[in-house]
Amino acid sequence: MPLAIRETQRRSGSGQSQSTGTKEVVIVGAGPYGLSSTAYLQDAGIDPYVIGKPMAFWKQSMPGRMLLRSRIEASNIAAPQKHLSLAAYQRTIGRKLQEPLPIEDFIAYGDWFQGQVAPNLDERQVSRIAFSDDSFEITFEDGEQIRSKRVILAVGIGLFSFRPEQFSSISRELAPHSSEVTDLSRCRGKRVAVLGTGQSALEYAALLHENGADVVILSRSSEIKFRPFAWRKHLFRQLTRGPLMGLSHRIIPPTDLGDIRTARKMANPDLFKRQAPEVQEQLIRACTRPIGAYWLAPRLQDVQIKTTVSVTNAEVSGPTLKLALTDGTNEEVDMVLLATGYKIDIARYKILDSSIRQRIEQTADGYPVLSMNLETSIPGLYLAGVVAEKALGPTLRFVTGTSNAGPRLAAAITGQPVCS
């Protein structure tokens, strides 16, 4: 039966107490997935209670002046309401956004989107989610509690940051994970080693270099790779604009992942799920392999790169850090930036009470087992975002996957098929 519930929203930061009673749906997370899910649910007649700091990960864990790796057509925070698209946003601000999209523009778009769908969201941190008496009990950092029949957890990738073992005893000042460094000006004049060769590592290296740091990239791979500009796709889109756009997107999905053979399997969760498990793995791995965007290559021309090396030992030496490398050489640096990515592990969901966490069915490698509607093995608890990439495919690692998550969450919660 379709639900039509209108919740009273707490004014963020106002300190007013909100309505009591059990809520129908609570969304924890106000990044692309939380905001997109809000839009889909509202379109289906449900106004969820939204918690989170708007676009917090983008504001606090990514560097200023970063350019999005995803093309504009793959950077929509999906919504059934057409007035929430990036195209509509461009019309609103009266300016065409540049490609590649600067992070500042994407954050402004996210904040604008939030203003439309959840202007009064609750910005408090959730400290615990437990289950009792047929509903979820959500406890805020200030001790206040609310209850909800269903919870959508869209808390992002940040809690899965991966620190290699060699750096476990080194301070975060000397060896921060890339998600802990946003202000690169503090590295001016310093020797900085960047560990990793994915898009993040290469972009941090370029930005650090442009900020006056003396950068060395340390890579396990034998070469640094850059994805060439997809000029065939670009040309195809140019030739199939306007009324042909629907057809154009059916032939080459706007998800900006994969190539002509794999793009549709990656874009469409049903098609993804029909692949053999090893093919699903390959499709996911193809989207996370270390490679930089084409526009990074010229920016890294003057940056020192050491390939086929890894760090065997890291030792604090006065104010600096001494890194022993597998090729027998040492690097003495002021800081090492661990652009070592993220490793999904459901045990990291510390806000979930252990009694819930332990009941969530998991894959052998720590992902939650989810239905095609993103429901965990605990009825009423849904997980959206990167944790769902094994369930719906690699789009879920990126903003573009919001178009796969939102309709499915809304369908699951309303019990009605929802148009994407």
Ligand X SMILES: Cc1cc2nc3c(=O)[nH]c(=O)nc-3n(C[C@H](O)[C@H](O)[C@H](O)COP(=O)(O)OP(=O)(O)OC[C@H]3O[C@@H](n4cnc5c(N)ncnc54)[C@H](O)[C@@H]3O)c2cc1C
Q: Is position 409 an interface residue for ligand X (rule: CB under 6 A)?
A: no
C-alpha 32/C-alpha 385 separation (Å) is: 9
DSSP code at position 367: P
CA distances from 150 to 21, 23, 290 (A): 13, 8, 37
Q: Is position 181 an interface residue for ligand X (rule: CB under 6 A)?
A: no
C-alpha 303/C-alpha 218 separation (Å) is: 11
- Distance of closest approach, residue 311 Cβ to ligand X, in angstroms: 21
Q: Which is nearer to ligand X, 39 or 51 (CB)?
A: 51
C-alpha 54/C-alpha 172 separation (Å) is: 25
- Distance of closest approach, residue 315 Cβ to ligand X, in angstroms: 28
Q: Is position 154 an interface residue for ligand X (rule: CB under 6 A)?
A: yes
Strands (DSSP E) contained in 141-231 are 145-153, 191-195, 214-218, 226-227
C-alpha 192/C-alpha 197 separation (Å) is: 15
Within residues 106-145, the interface with ligand X by CB under 6 A covers 125-126
Q: Is position 158 an interface residue for ligand X (rule: CB under 6 A)?
A: yes
Pattern 10-29, binding to ligand X, x per CB under 6 A? ------------------xx
Q: Is position 374 an interface residue for ligand X (rule: CB under 6 A)?
A: no
CA distances from 219 to 150, 187, 207 (A): 44, 20, 18
C-alpha 329/C-alpha 380 separation (Å) is: 54
Within residues 53-112, the interface with ligand X by CB under 6 A covers 53, 56-58, 62, 68-70, 75
CA distances from 98 to 32, 95, 101, 420 (A): 20, 9, 6, 26
Q: Is position 157 an interface residue for ligand X (rule: CB under 6 A)?
A: yes
Tokens of 79: 């919504």
Beta pairing partners, 191: 214
Instruction: Give the one residue of 399, 409, 410, 412 binding ligand X; rule: CB under 6 A.
Output: 399
Which of these segments, 156-164, 228-236, 319-327, 373-381, binds ligand X (CB under 6 A)?
A: 156-164
- Distance of closest approach, residue 26 Cβ to ligand X, in angstroms: 10
C-alpha 306/C-alpha 314 separation (Å) is: 17
- Distance of closest approach, residue 343 Cβ to ligand X, in angstroms: 13
Q: Is position 30 an interface residue for ligand X (rule: CB under 6 A)?
A: yes
Q: Is position 34 an interface residue for ligand X (rule: CB under 6 A)?
A: yes
Q: Is position 398 an interface residue for ligand X (rule: CB under 6 A)?
A: yes
C-alpha 209/C-alpha 287 separation (Å) is: 26
What's the one-letter identity of residue 110? G
Q: Which is nearer to ligand X, 296 or 331 (CB)?
A: 296
* Burial grade of 111 (CB within 10 A; 0-12, 13-18, 19 or more): middle
Instruction: Give the one residue of 51, 207, 321, 392 binding ligand X; rule: CB under 6 A.
Output: 51
Tokens of 382: 């849904």
Q: Is position 32 an interface residue for ligand X (rule: CB under 6 A)?
A: yes
Q: Is position 367 an interface residue for ligand X (rule: CB under 6 A)?
A: no
Q: Which is nearer to ligand X, 206 or 331 (CB)?
A: 206
Residues of the shown chain interacting with ligand X in the complex, contacts defined by CB under 6 A: 28-34, 51-53, 56-58, 62, 68-70, 75, 125-126, 154-158, 200, 351, 385, 397-400
